Amino acid sequence: MVTIEFLGPIQKAPLTLEAASLREVAEALKNDTEMGQWLDSCAVAVNDALVASLDTPLKNGDKVSLLPPVCGG
C-alpha cells in the first residue's frame, strides 16, 4: 500500500492504494472527478523527492505527494 497526499489547494483527504508505479496511481486518480483538474498540472514527489516519470516504481509504505502549482509574488 502507498499513501497519496494532496497538498495546497487540493481539498482531499489522504488515501491509500495498492500501486506498483506512479502510472497505476495516475490511472486510479483519473477516475476521481475531483482530481481531473489537477492531474496534468501537479508536480509529484515520492518520499519527498520530486520525480518526473510515471514509470517510477513504488513499494509498500511509499508516500506520493501531489503538489499543485502555486502563484506567488
In a domain, 63, yes or no: yes
27: which 3 cell numbers? 490511472
In this predicted structure, what is the pLDDT of residue 6? 94
Residue 73, pLDDT > 70, answer no
Give the chain's domain count. 1
In a domain, 26, yes or no: yes
The answer to whether residue 22 is domain-embedded is: yes
In a domain, 48, yes or no: yes
Neighbour order of strands in the sheet with 2-6: 15-17, 2-6, 63-67, 43-46, 49-51
- The per-residue pLDDT for range 28-72, each reduced to its tens digit, is 998 888 887 788 889 999 999 999 999 999 999 999 999 998 755
| Within a domain: 73 | no
